[in-house]
Amino acid sequence: MGVRKGSSIPIFLQLPATIVIWSLVGYVLIWLLYSIVHRYVPGSSPEFIGLGNFLEMLYDARLHSAVLRTIYYVGIGAFIEVFLGMIIALALVNYIKNDTIRFTLLILFITPMCLAEAVVSIIWLMLVTPEGYINCFLRYMGLPGVGWLSESLALTTLMMIDVWQWTPLPLLLVYAARSSIPVELYETAEIDRLSPFTTFRVVTWPFIRNAVLVSAILRVIFMYITIDKFIMITKGGPGFASEIIGYYVFVQSFSYRNVGYAAALGFLTMIIAAIITYFFWNMLRRRE
């Protein structure tokens, strides 16, 4: 009934967006597939090396430590964000009974995630730079300053900044899920004299589980693919102390102009991102 004049409309609706997207993405894919099997540095002609770029990765010690750093940065960072966000969201709903105050607090708490990564970077650069605010406060109180961007702390500092910016995401999702739980369930739990922990396990958790999982997925993926803070604050340094995979690919692409190798790394990171998405997605589906 809806499509009287034949079935040309459905395809016609998709064509403009599809053509626009593939005009660029098609080139990107072909470029990547070509580059990953070549050794190519601008100025010289590409040399076919098959899987050579991938073999090189096996011997690239700098890459290996970047992988370990990524696991540290993403794993611990995402865990703190999800856990902290969940606690704050539950505390807000359970203990702040005044609607206006609660909503105002929620908006205040989630502000950081709306700011640009680059803006968050300069906000925090002012705090953690050696002569910055945090060290000013510490010295004022008679304590020694801390080298927040030193070799041993730089990556953890970046993680802390990401926690500041992105704890709001799990907070928001868990808050929305927790708000949707009918009050009657808690009244029943109270009548049954369930302990707070049992109430959480039996009543709250089943409702917020998906929100927690989704926010964990999103945080893991986006911490892994976003390198804005690394470009702005540490540039992977000092030395390579805060170099994660994404930033290493960026350096190979734009500093060393090692195009073939950078493309191979980029290609591999894409596949890893796809696997992570797929893995979590299945987990979510199975739970439902």
Considering only residues 68-107, where is the footprint of another protein by CB under 8 A? 88, 91-92, 94-96, 105, 107
**Alpha-carbon span 74 to 61, nearest angstrom:** 20
Piece of the chain touching another protein by CB under 8 A; list 43-51, 187-195, 200-208, 256-264: 256-264
User: Which residue from 13, 68, 202, 275 is in contact with another protein, where contact means CB under 8 A?
Assistant: 13
Which candidate, 92, 128, 87, 112, places its Cα nearest to that of 166?
112
The helix/strand/coil state of 151 is coil
**Alpha-carbon span 87 to 99, nearest angstrom:** 19
Within 184-243, the residues that bind another protein by CB under 8 A are: 211, 214-215, 218, 221, 224-228, 231-232
| Contact call for residues 219 and 78 (beta carbons, < 8 A) | yes
Nearer to another protein, 115 or 202 (CB): 115
Piece of the chain touching another protein by CB under 8 A; list 55-63, 70-78, 171-179, 185-193: 171-179
User: Which residue from 51, 71, 122, 275 is in contact with another protein, where contact means CB under 8 A?
Assistant: 122
Tokens of 274: 């796809």
User: Which residue from 55, 71, 202, 270 is in contact with another protein, where contact means CB under 8 A?
Assistant: 270
Least spacing, CB of residue 176 vs another protein, in Å: 5
| 159 is an interface residue for another protein by CB under 8 A | no
User: Which residue from 73, 159, 259, 261 is in contact with another protein, where contact means CB under 8 A?
Assistant: 259
| 118 is an interface residue for another protein by CB under 8 A | yes
Helical spans, DSSP H, in 131-257: 133-140, 154-166, 168-179, 183-191, 196-199, 205-225, 228-229, 245-254
DSSP H or E run through 48 = strand 47-48
Instruction: Report the residue count for the chain.
Output: 288
User: Which residue from 51, 68, 71, 114 is in contact with another protein, where contact means CB under 8 A?
Assistant: 114
Which candidate, 48, 242, 270, places its Cα nearest to that of 160?
242
Nearer to another protein, 49 or 247 (CB): 247
Which candidate, 243, 241, 252, places its Cα nearest to that of 70?
243
User: Which residue from 121, 204, 234, 242 is in contact with another protein, where contact means CB under 8 A?
Assistant: 121
User: Which residue from 41, 57, 76, 127 is in contact with another protein, where contact means CB under 8 A?
Assistant: 127
| 280 is an interface residue for another protein by CB under 8 A | no
| Contact call for residues 256 and 239 (beta carbons, < 8 A) | no
| 266 is an interface residue for another protein by CB under 8 A | yes
Q: List phi, psi (to 5°) of 279.
A: -60, -50
Within 28-47, the residues that bind another protein by CB under 8 A are: 28, 31-32, 35
Which candidate, 47, 24, 21, 25, places its Cα nearest to that of 35?
47
Piece of the chain touching another protein by CB under 8 A; list 49-57, 70-78, 168-176, 200-208: 168-176
| 254 is an interface residue for another protein by CB under 8 A | yes
